[in-house]
Amino acid sequence: MDVPVLKQGQYLIATVQSALTDADLAQLRHSLVEQVGRFRSRGVIVDVTAVDVLDSFACRTLRDIAHMAGFRGAETVIVGIHPDLAFTMVRLGLSLEGVSTALDLEEGLAFLDKETRRPGRRALHSGAAMPHPEPRKPRGNH
């Protein structure tokens, strides 16, 4: 099941709407990292409010998304980890080390607004490491 990704200004918002298979998660990772370049996004929000389980694989994939998007110059924030998931992750010994989280979509947007406004942030992440930026896509012919 594909996760819909909404482009909102400088941000990408991925809302997970049902339980995901490992392949779905890998697809989400691929598509977000690709779209950060295509839309020149500065921030990514992954909303996991509707997720039933965040096991070790899901956790690792979320970390990969955040780190890979980071290498591409976009800040990632995971939102909507409900109390049952948080409890289970702690028991299981999982962490989202190095990944920003926020309570919900609203807090996530506020966090990104604050983070992406910091001067020099994009250069820090993507400047020297990516000498060949993706060519700008044509804006469409209408």
CB closer to another protein out of 93 and 131: 93
Question: Mask 26-65, x = binds another protein (CB under 8 A)?
Answer: --------------------------xxxxxx-xx-----
Stretch touching another protein by CB under 8 A, among 30-38, 85-93, 100-108, 114-122:
85-93
Choosing from 66, 94, 99, 102, the residue that interacts with another protein (CB under 8 A) is: 94
Q: Under the criterion CB under 8 A, does residue 88 sit at the interface with another protein?
A: yes
Stretch touching another protein by CB under 8 A, among 3-11, 68-76, 79-87, 120-128:
79-87
CA 79 to CA 95: how far, in whole Å?
15
Residues with Cβ within 8 Å of residue 1, at least 6 apart in sequence: 17, 18, 20, 21, 24
Choosing from 6, 50, 92, 130, the residue that interacts with another protein (CB under 8 A) is: 92
CA 63 to CA 70: how far, in whole Å?
10
Residue 35, Cα to own-chain centre: how many angstroms?
11
As given in the structure block, the two tokens for residue 55 are 């096991």
CA 129 to CA 126: how far, in whole Å?
6
Size, binding site for another protein by CB under 8 A: 22
CB closer to another protein out of 55 and 104: 55
In this structure, the strands spanning 75-79 and 100-102 are parallel
Q: Fill in the DSSP letter of residue 38.
A: H
Binding-site ranges for another protein (CB under 8 A): 19-23, 52-57, 59-60, 83-85, 87-88, 91-94
